[in-house]
Homo-oligomer: A and B are copies of this chain.
Amino acid sequence: MVDVAKAAGVSLATVSAAVNGSAPVSAALKGRIHKAIRQVGYKTNAIARSLKTGTTSTIGLMVADITNPFFTTTIHAIQELAHRHGYGVMLCCSDEDADKERMHLRLLADRMVDGFIVASAGETPELRALVEGGRTPVVLIDRLVDGLETDAVVIDNVAATRDAVRHLAAAGHRRIGLITGRRTLSTGRERYEGYRQALEEAGIAFEPALVGSARFGADDGYKAAAKLLSLADRPTAIFACNNLSGIGLMRAIHDAGLRCPDDIAVACFDDFDWANVFHPRLTTVAQPTQAIGVQAMLLLLERLKDATARALPPRVVRLKAELRVRDSSVRPAR
- The interface-forming segment of A21-29, A48-56, A166-174, A304-312 is A48-56
A47 interface neighbour in B89, B112, B280, Cβ under 8 Å: B112
A325 sits at the interface (CB 8 A)? no
How many whole Å from A258's CB to the nearest CB in chain B?
13
A83–B92 Cα distance when bound, in Å, is 9
Name the contact of A46 in the complex, choosing from B69, B80, B89, B112 (C-beta under 8 A).
B112
How far apart are the CA atoms of A8 and B45 in the complex, in Å? 34
Q: Which residues of B contact A66 (CB under 8 A)?
A: 72, 75-76, 79
- Collect the chain B residues with CB atoms within 8 Å of residue A91's CB: 61, 75, 79, 89-91
B67 touches A72 (CB 8 A): yes
Q: Does A104 contact B (CB under 8 A)?
A: yes
Which B-chain residue is minimally distant from A103 (CB atoms)? Answer: B83
- Chain B residues closer than 8 Å to A274, beta-carbon distance: 247, 272, 274-275, 278
B56 contacts A47, C-beta separation under 8 Å: yes
Q: Is A315 an interface residue (CB 8 A)?
A: no
Q: State A236–B43 Cα separation when bound (angstroms).
A: 57
Q: Are B277 and A250 in contact (CB under 8 A)?
A: yes
B-side contacts of A282, CB under 8 Å: 278
B58 & A111 in contact (Cβ 8 Å cutoff): yes
User: How distant is A20 from chain B, measured CB to nearest CB, in Å?
Assistant: 14
**A328 CB to nearest B CB, Å:** 10
B51–A47 contact, CB under 8 A?
Answer: yes
How far is it, in angstroms, between the C-alpha of A146 and the C-alpha of B277 when the chains are bound?
Answer: 36
Whole-angstrom CA separation of A295 from B218 in the bound complex: 26
Q: How far is the CA of A254 from the CA of B326 in the complex (A)?
A: 15
Cα distance A112–B69 in the bound complex, in angstroms: 30
Q: Are B88 and A88 in contact (CB under 8 A)?
A: no
Interface digits, A259-287 against B, CB 8 Å rule (1 contact, 0 not)?
00000000000001111111110100000
Known: A76-B66, A218-B273. A90 touches B46 (CB 8 A): no
List residues of A (77-113) whose CB comes within 8 Å of B's CBs: 79-80, 83, 88-93, 103-104, 107-112
List chain B residues, Cβ under 8 A from A67: 69, 72-73, 76
B residues within 8 A CB of A58?
Answer: 90, 111
- Complex Cα–Cα for A48 and B43 (A): 19
Tell me the smallest distance from the CB of A266 to a CB of chain B, in Å.
11
Contact of A39 with B by CB under 8 A: no
15 A-B pairs besides A45-B112, A89-B90 with CB distance below 8 A are A43-B109, A46-B112, A47-B56, A51-B51, A58-B111, A66-B75, A83-B104, A88-B92, A90-B91, A218-B273, A244-B273, A274-B274, A278-B278, A278-B280, A278-B282
Q: Which residues of A contact B (CB under 8 A)?
A: 43-48, 50-51, 56, 58, 61, 66-67, 69, 72-73, 75-76, 79-80, 83, 88-93, 103-104, 107-112, 218, 244, 247, 250-251, 254, 272-280, 282
